[in-house]
Structure 1
């Protein structure tokens, strides 16, 4: 049985989420409804829409959906094997900016309601099996920049209303059954392709396309050969110059790169996950420079890196310690195995790995906003603190990730080290649960697994310490402590001197209990929040205290 203070803490967490839900409910319920209706009319044999469920509060954590300020702005479902038809309910998503459904097997017509998507900038329905005429209403999309309806079975004329698409810079209607004249404005667009129809393009087929980067249409073979030859010669010359420059730079470079015995351990393979060479990661991290260290943990260090190439992709490289020990090797194998099983928007994705006889490294996407812990407590000069809305969005994202591990993985996964430092933040402050070095899998028929007590002080559930048996409740306790970190801005076991009332109160959970017992509700709320924005969390705490 939980004591009264513990019950109040649980109610506090519940009210915090209710506080967030109240502010979002009106804004997001219709979005969930619209997307579920869209899913209902589509055939999804691959299960790419499996997490689009009508019992969830927000669609912003679903796969293939992106949001800004809790409003759906992008749906990308290219090459997803979808069948069925397009639902008019998509038009309810009035904040939608990009709808990309190309290269599927969607049939039926284009709903006229799509003309109500006033913020749409990209509409790509190319390479499907759509039929019927192009709705006149699409001419109302005043912000539309990119339109691709190519490789379908569309009929009729190009709507005269398309003359109103003044923002259009790229249009592809190639390979349909469209007839008639092309509106003059559409021949002035920077890139267009109308080939493969029954349109009046004039004497020359080339008049039907100009500078098109979209799919479809015939190309001038000779021109391509000439361009390809020139490009090949230029590429070769540039490559030679770059190789010489690189050799010159490496020759006089002061850094020393130490080769690792054996370079690669080919005994370990992990399916389709990319294998990096030791040298690749050495170069990417500047020889694992201390200046590139993002963080340290019990199993090693994490380094920021940049993969060489035209895109300069940023990565995070976890270099594990004690790989020759059983614990070190198990941590490596566990993390690769679990992340291979768990694929979700709010779960850290593994890009690749590197193994040598003496090294074990894991490669992840670089998270632009680091971790929840760093954004709460390591705020740089002139850097704004996380506002209340963002904090609650982070809490919801982390909850979605944990719910996926607990309920949708087979076998279910217990993280065992849920804390603010292990919840990462991408460029849009979307929460991503990471660091699976302590995670455990649990058989479907069992709720717990016996193991040694692992975790971080201040985040470990008391019953786990007592029994040594982690369960889903272990993660929920850690998540609750993280919520307190999000609200208070404090560490789980350390405080600023002016916030400590008694020397014995060192755990955040104990400190919160003390403040609640004394009715000091505002002391619970992070002082970095604006005074006006501290109202919601303090009211939530007030409701708990009054109860």
Structure 2
């Protein structure tokens, strides 16, 4: 991070006025100590400072700078901390600083700035000590009275009137030096702590020096070079592919330290997606829960966007549902209940404990991983759209899997936490039935899809025809009945009728509310196809093999002609 600091020494302090004008960074006069006509750096810091546009911290306080603040300062893209306090700056505060989205700390205190104080886009702003500044709602003279300006006079010490002994003088000197040393050490410690805090707050990603080790660390998050990733995956060899998804291809890789990892190579990103990618990586690195995938590191180089995850020994729930161990299903009834509860807890954390809220938008068995203890690990959540504070939904391009997308999401593109609840209900049906695809054969049920079939069997008390036949009745019928009821509650047509994921967790933990809630809502019918229902909505029974994978389509493509 580049840091720019001017000394207080020099016979002529720098000024902001002059040839560059208000919108320029070119001063008319600067300190003869540096002797330059444009923004320049001391010789001892040029190697690490670079140009002004690359500066992250400007410490220009106590430099006797005069004139208006240039508009161009607010346009510096990497500037995070600006200190212009205790100078002679005048004029109004530029709009570029008021609306800056990059600055974190700005100190303009103790100058001669004027105008009206606006609502800043910056979290930390200091403007005290500017008597000409006005504040909205206070009138013309309010600011002058609200800013306290007290003149502090330090009386000079009278010369001693009596002689002091040499020993007493030495004692005083020793005390002063000792006190000064202690104060210096304390201030230096505070300075180091402050710098460390700034680095952790302002630098989210590790920076790599090409002349040093190719792998850099930022806390627990590592940044890999493309060379490292290619070496780990044998140049993305097809034999190392673990699976395909809507966001890209996942490869098995061996990192430099010998760790086996899952390397997700995302689909091509356009240049406008760089900021979004970094934002999502930041969020993913901060989300920690036992039922959510933990991000090891990432790579952002050339046109490649790559995420590195821990390798899950037992693969996905989708693969284990079809697997056998010693002639029996790899996942018994107890294991399926454990997976249902773990996935619900992970989603509830994303919805209720993350700020901004995270909506997954593609919940299914192939996106639920299993660790060595068959604990459910929700993956792919970091690539979902984020909801800002105070928002309950977001309008985006349709992303998900055909047959698993909530009706309101297909109709309007409105995604919310209830969209995930709908898909989770279908995940429960996957766990109950063990089916690879949620389609229904005509000889099984002719009146609708798998949801309608489950509702009919539950009503008739025939759920044994719905539960995975490979379990051979090695399950608790009452638990199966309750899990089907939860699945049907989660897949109610109207989002308002669906429970929240936190409520689903409590129901799976056995709070006793399932039967009563189902009794109240079991007779609620979905509206007939008409103006309120999109004809494009597909039953989970009707999607082809090509539609089985995650997709992303614009809402206009799904809603038909307008």
What's the TM-score once normalised by structure 2's chain length? 0.44
Bigger radius of gyration among the two: 2
